Amino acid sequence: MMNDVTVPQRTITALVVGAGQGIGLEFVRQLLPSVDRLYATYRNSQSELLTITDSRLHCLEMDITEEAQVAAAIQQIQAETTALHFVINCVGMLHDGTIQPEKSLRHINSEQLIRYFQVNSIGAILLAKQVQPLLKHRDRAIFATISAKVGSIGDNQLGGWYGYRASKAALNMLMRTTAIEYKRTCPRAIVVTLHPGTTDTQLSRPFQRNVSPEKLFSVERTVQQLLAVLDQLQESDSGEFFSWDGNRLPW
């Protein structure tokens, strides 16, 4: 007769950053059923995220441009767990109350450019720095950041959107460099940037006029597609930039 040996169950933990709305909020919805613990960050206390009632969900307030807030959120997670298996960073900004993407050089403004870099590029590297201890474990782990195809330098045929494009190109370089360092420090962590495809969120809404309906994805579809890409990743894919269909994008 076999001994009744209880195999300890692995606890799967995830962190979704920028989960207050859009693609990040949908990642929370789709990941919740398959993880044991899900940490999700938000900025706005009116966010729909805070209406989700699930004992696995733990919401943390965090502005990614403030390193002290990133560090405090990670410390809160570390007080409860030693490992994260998924870190999905969905933070991004194309426009806000004052910022609009530049159509031409006439619109270039240094403060606006700095803001794009703070939110879209520097935030992700602050997160990579702070979250590193939680990715040093023996299980497969994913550190994915949502970038954008318009951040591809090789693919840029249209011009415009200087700040958003440049900040996403910088994000790609910062994540590629992180992937190289993580290979030494957290060798099971796969670091990637992802293009979600044009997705129906507040970010794309002012620019959807010229997008054909079949090329405008719902957040549900986008997250399903991105989860399928993440599912297929191998360690050798770390440092790469993937589109929603699993193809690699040019830098």
Ligand X SMILES: NC(=O)c1ccc[n+]([C@@H]2O[C@H](COP(=O)([O-])OP(=O)(O)OC[C@H]3O[C@@H](n4cnc5c(N)ncnc54)[C@H](OP(=O)(O)O)[C@@H]3O)[C@@H](O)[C@H]2O)c1
43 lines the binding site for ligand X (CB under 6 A): yes
CA distance 15 to 27: 10
201 lines the binding site for ligand X (CB under 6 A): yes
CA distance 48 to 44: 9
196 lines the binding site for ligand X (CB under 6 A): yes
End-to-end distance of the chain based on CA atoms, in angstroms?
58
64 lines the binding site for ligand X (CB under 6 A): yes
169 lines the binding site for ligand X (CB under 6 A): no
Which listed residue (18, 101, 163, 239) binds ligand X by CB under 6 A? 18
Query: Min. distance of Cβ 143 from ligand X in angstroms?
Result: 15
Instruction: Give the pair of three-digit tokens for residue 177.
Output: 């460099």
Query: Between 212 and 231, how does the x/- string for binding to ligand X read (CB under 6 A)?
Result: --------------------
90 lines the binding site for ligand X (CB under 6 A): yes
23 lines the binding site for ligand X (CB under 6 A): yes
Give the binding-site size for ligand X (rule: CB under 6 A).
Answer: 25
Residue 39 CA to chain centroid, in angstroms?
13
185 lines the binding site for ligand X (CB under 6 A): no
| Phi and psi torsions of 210, nearest 5° | -95, 15
CA distance 25 to 17: 9
Which secondary structure element, helix H or strand E, spans residue 142, and what is its range?
A: strand 141-146
137 lines the binding site for ligand X (CB under 6 A): no
Specify burial of residue 216 (Cβ count, 10 A radius: 0-12, 13-18, 19+): middle
Residues forming the site for ligand X (CB under 6 A):
18, 20-24, 43-44, 63-65, 90-93, 119, 146, 148, 196, 198-199, 201-204
